[in-house]
């Protein structure tokens, strides 16, 4: 788990935004991050996948459209 392994190290030198607030379900993770956050900012988003609520709203309204394309770059060194 990224927040458990590296969160305290990030907080030694910078603010840290947790990617998944579920990580705080572990008391050990929460405690280590709280200790590290005494000198830096610890930011906790409302959910792990930012924008999920907006995507759901768009899907409900029928305005969600997704397009994808896969392209292979030419290998000029083989020509």
| Residue 34 region by backbone torsions, left for phi larger than 0, else alpha for psi between -120 and 50, else beta | alpha
CA dihedral 2, 18, 21, 5 (to 10 degrees): 20
- This prediction has a pTM of 0.56
Per-residue model confidence as pLDDT tens digits over 24-76: 999 999 999 999 999 999 988 776 655 667 777 878 888 877 666 666 666 66
For the segment 6-30, what is each residue's pLDDT rounded down to a tens digit? 999 999 999 998 888 888 999 999 9
Output the pLDDT for position 7. 92
Outline where DSSP puts E strands in the chain. 16-17, 42-43
- pLDDT in the model for residue 75: 63
CA–CA dist 36, 33 (Å, integer) = 5
């Amino acid at each position: 788990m990224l927040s458990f392994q590296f969160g305290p190290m990030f907080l030694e030198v910078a603010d840290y935004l947790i990617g998944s607030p579920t990580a705080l379900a572990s008391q050990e993770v929460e405690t280590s991050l709280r200790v590290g956050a005494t000198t830096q900012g610890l930011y906790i988003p409302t959910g792990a996948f930012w924008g999920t609520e907006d995507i759901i709203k768009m899907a409900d309204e029928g305005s969600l459209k997704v397009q994808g394309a896969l392209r292979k770059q030419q290998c000029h060194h083989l020509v």
